[in-house]
Amino acid sequence: MNIKLKIRKGDTVEVVTGKEVDKGKRAEVIRVLPKTNRLVVQGVNMRKRHQRATQQGGRQIAAGIVEFEGPLSISNVMLVCPSCSKSVRVGFKRGEKGSHRVCKSCGKDID
């Protein structure tokens, strides 16, 4: 199943809804999880995991509190257009080389 998402890895997005701490933040997408309609954004939705010291395959993993970015829903973010630098909705246009993403605000190509 080929799911066509409007946001891809490497895009800059703005958090529209969610935690008060994260609202309005602009950051880059690290990972996209298309099966669950979620994505991981750099420095947003930070989680903490308490990790026990372990030894796996001869290497030592230290104990402590590990911070990492948790996934959030695609509906909670909007893509930031590279040309007009606003958070915008995304449309698709067909061309000779296939379909490509277009900014709904300024009408320019995103990729």
CB 103, CB 83: distance < 8 Å: yes
Same domain as 67, residue 93:
no
In whole numbers, what is the pLDDT of the chain averaged over residues? 90
Q: Answer yes or no: do 5 and 41 share one domain.
A: yes
Q: Are residues 61 and 92 in the same domain?
A: no
Q: Which domain holds residue 110?
A: 81-111
Do 76 and 103 belong together in one domain? no
Count of domains for the chain: 2
- Residues 58, 99 within the same domain: no
So what's the pLDDT on residue 18?
A: 87
Do residues 29 and 39 both lie within one domain?
Answer: yes
β-pairing, 64-69 with 72-73?
unpaired
Predicted confidence band at 1 (pLDDT cuts at 50, 70, 90)? very low
Quick: pLDDT tens for 41-71: 999 999 999 999 888 777 888 889 999 999 9
The distance in angstroms from the start CA to the end CA of the chain is 23
Examine the domain organization and report whether 66 and 111 are in the same domain.
Answer: no
pLDDT at 2 over 60: no
| Closest residue by Cα to residue 31 from 10, 45, 47 | 10
**Residue 3: its pLDDT value, please?**
62
The Cα 62–Cα 44 span in angstroms is 25
pLDDT of 38: 95
